Amino acid sequence: MNQEIGKLNEHFLKTFNRLVYLTKIHQVNNPLLMECIVIFKKVVGRLLEEDDYITIQVSRGNIFIQDEKLLYRREIAKLVNNILQYFEKRDLQGLCFYAAVQEVSDKEVMDFGRILNESEQQKDPLNWFVEQLENQGIVWVENIHEQDAQLTEQDPETEPLDQEQLRKVKAKESYFYALNSIKEVAEKITSQKKAGVRKALRVIQNMVDFVMEDESIVLGISTIRDYDDYTFTHSINVAILSMCLGRRIGISRTSLHRLGICGLFHDLGKLDIPVEIIRLPRKLSKSEFDVVKKHTIYSVAQIIKLQAARGLKSKILLPPFEHHMKYDLSGYPQTPQKKPVSLFGRILTIADVFDAITSPRNYRSTALTQDQALGYMLDHSGTDFDPSLLKAFINMLGVYPIGSLLELDTGELALVVEAGKAVDGTRPKVVLLAADGQGGYTKGGVMDLDERDAQSGVFRRNIVKSLHPSTHGIQPAEFLLQI
């Protein structure tokens, strides 16, 4: 660990410890307490120069700040012991602080300190603490025990999972954690309650890690389609596809975080569209579509209302507003200014359209297969889509993207799991699907469609056509992420 960062982490720990101590013994307006709050916000600000949040966690007698183990030094041994005991008495495994802490009132910081202190006296300290944060509308800090505990403990009698299997398990859990977080935001907005971005920030951080480590697993999970939860699963898929494309073109990790948040919240304005229009089982009339087109403006309004740092909100407002403008500005909303759509806006447009036209909807019985969707988008390159970004997107997904359902000349059904060895991408690696006799399918062996018969040199299997998974009741992610 960098020595300067190590010192800053120690400073943060000392300031946090002093904050909870002073809120225990002093009342509002005490000079020492007020000074401590100022220092606390400054230290948080320095740590947040590169990240969107700060974590402090305890595990097996160690303290981790920003996932970095605090190095033992005799000078801070007493401090470390105090923090470990403090967390243990409250059943806390960790806390996460978001950038918004720099902008809240001193009183709210004091309220947080007092809630944390008082939780020790409660019958169920942890749940009481979480409930009090919710009741007080304190959204800039959260308990992160639930995130750390997401991965179920392995049964010691079963075979241990390898690294790829663990990534699959964690990826699935992160996806559904993201689903819950965006639903929670939607429910609070609908109920006219304060909605924060704390969980969304954490889940996007996790997904960025997956994007950097194993893009194929993330692309596999983006094939999840849910007819009943379309708006929410669509938002997560757009976030994933956008981050994968962002990584392909080399944007920074910090920018990937913000791009992911843009994707997650890009359709937040649809909460302001009458539900009877959203759920119409037919194509919209012109007047109905005019109402739906307002959702990009509504998304901006909803993001502004979120409990989050102004700096963060200012960086995620524009792309959701732009994601239907199209590359040539012929989309909506129409504005008098003719500036080009921002980079993030152009990325969101590609991810949004791809997921939308490959998803079955209530107003159409069929959707395009992934390869058909890419063909359609290629036909609109230069008008609807940025040509360079679309080319990078197609190269990223391949001719037959991960999760594509194929019919082979052997009569078998197969799901694409990798691009394969063929340079042109027309012979991917697939997993065979076998009918289970009950209307479903089981996972068979993995085959490379580039494989030839040793004697004749003829390909063993050939693609007849692509199919949409929904026509066979198949959820690709269920097979791609099986362990």
Distance from C-alpha of 70 to C-alpha of 62, rounded to nearest angstrom: 7
The last residue of one of the domains, among 333, 367, 397, is 397
| 1 Cβ contact list (under 8 Å, min separation 6) | 68, 71
Residue 153 lies in a domain: no
Amino acid at 181: S
**In a shared domain, residues 63 and 205:** no
When pLDDT is averaged across residues 112-127 and rounded to a whole number, the result is: 94
Residues 125 and 224 in one domain: no
Helix H or strand E encompassing 301: helix 295-305
DSSP state at residue 285: P
Q: Report residue 174's pLDDT band, with 50, 70 and 90 as the boundaries.
A: confident
Q: Which residue matches tokens 């700040």?
A: 65
Q: How far apart are CA 196 and CA 201, in angstroms?
A: 10
Q: Considering the domain boundaries, does residue 316 fall inside one?
A: yes
Q: Who has greater pLDDT, 434 or 320? A: 320
The single residue listed with the structure tokens 């490379």 is 448
Instruction: Examine the pLDDT at 408 and tell me if it is beyond 80.
Output: yes
Counts for the chain of helices (H) and strands (E), in that order: 20, 10
Q: Specify whether 15 is located in the same domain as 78.
A: yes
Query: Are residues 108 and 199 part of one domain?
Result: no
Statement to judge: residues 219 and 108 lie in one domain: no
Helices 343-357 and 230-248, packing angle to 10 deg: 130
Range of the domain at 230: 163-397
Banded pLDDT at 227 (limits 50, 70, 90): low
Q: Which amino acid is at 480?
A: L
Bridge partners for 467 per DSSP: 405
Q: Please, what is the average pLDDT of the chain?
A: 87
On whether both 391 and 412 belong to a single domain, the answer is no
Q: What is the mean pLDDT of residues 67-82?
A: 86
How many separate domains does the chain show? 3
Q: How far apart are CA 275 and CA 113, in angstroms?
A: 41
Q: How far apart are CA 300 and CA 293, in angstroms?
A: 13
Given pLDDT bands bounded at 50, 70 and 90, which one contains residue 156? very low
Q: Tell me the average pLDDT across 464-480.
A: 89
Residues with Cβ within 8 Å of 251's Cβ and at least 6 positions away in sequence, in order, are 259
Q: At what angle do helices 163-190 and 253-265 cross, to 10 degrees?
A: 50
On whether both 233 and 96 belong to a single domain, the answer is: no
* Residue 61: pLDDT band with limits 50, 70, 90: confident
Mean pLDDT of 252-276: 92
> Are 432 and 406 a contacting pair, CB within 8 Å?
no
Q: Which residue has the tokens 């059904």?
A: 413
Q: Is residue 30 part of a domain?
A: yes
Name the H helices within 310-361.
310-316, 318-322, 343-357
CB 463 within 8 A of CB 477: no
pLDDT reported for residue 296: 96
| Of the candidates 461, 456, 472, the residue with the CA atom closest to the CA atom of residue 404 | 472
Confidence of residue 161 (pLDDT cuts 50, 70, 90): low
Phi-psi region of 431 (alpha: psi -120 to 50; beta: other; left: phi over 0): beta
State yes or no: pLDDT of 39 exceeds 70. Answer: yes
Q: Does residue 90 surpass a pLDDT of 90?
A: yes
Token pair belonging to 447: 């085959």
Query: Higher confidence at residue 198 or residue 55?
Result: 55
| pLDDT for residue 314 | 87
How is residue 235 written in tokens? 């938002």
Domain membership of residue 155 (yes or no) is no
340: Cβ contacts below 8 Å, ≥ 6 apart: 329
pLDDT band at 148 (very low <50, low <70, confident <90, very high): very low
Report the CATH number at residue 349. 1.10.3210.10
193 has a pLDDT exceeding 50: yes
Which of 345, 370, 397 terminates a domain? The answer is 397
Q: How far apart are CA 3 and CA 148, in angstroms?
A: 27
Both 256 and 377 in one domain: the answer is yes
Asked if 36 and 18 count as a contact pair (C-beta separation under 8 A), the reply is yes
Q: What is the pLDDT of residue 50?
A: 63
Q: Determine the average pLDDT of the residues in 284-305.
A: 93
Q: Please tell me the predicted confidence (pLDDT) of residue 229.
A: 77
The number of residues making up the chain comes to: 483
Residues 95, 14 within the same domain: yes
Which of 146, 176, 200 is the endpoint of a domain? 146
Query: Rounded to an integer, what distance in angstroms lies between the CA atom of residue 321 and that of residue 299?
Result: 7
35 pLDDT higher than 80: yes
DSSP one-letter string for 157-196: TSPPP-HHHHHHHHHHHHHHHHHHHHHHHHHHHHTT---B
Q: Which has the minimum average pLDDT: 82-91, 199-208, 375-384?
A: 199-208
The yes-or-no verdict on residue 235 having pLDDT over 90 is: yes
Q: What is the CA radius of gyration of the chain?
A: 25
Shared domain check, 445 and 356: no
Question: What is the CB-side half-sphere exposure of residue 420 using CA atoms within 13 A?
Answer: 23
Edge-to-edge order in the sheet of strand 53-59: 68-69, 62-65, 53-59, 94-98, 141-143
Tell me: pLDDT of 278 over 90: no
Please tell me the predicted confidence (pLDDT) of residue 250: 95
SS3 call for 65: strand
Same domain (yes/no): 294, 357: yes
Residue type, 214: D
Q: Tell me what pLDDT residue 365 has.
A: 63
Q: How do beta strands 441-448 and 429-435 pair?
A: antiparallel
Closest C-alpha among 444, 448, 407, 446 to residue 428: 448
Same domain, yes or no, for 139 and 198? no
Confidence tier at 101 by pLDDT (50, 70, 90): confident
Q: To which H or E segment does residue 388 belong?
A: helix 387-397
Domain membership of residue 156 (yes or no) is no
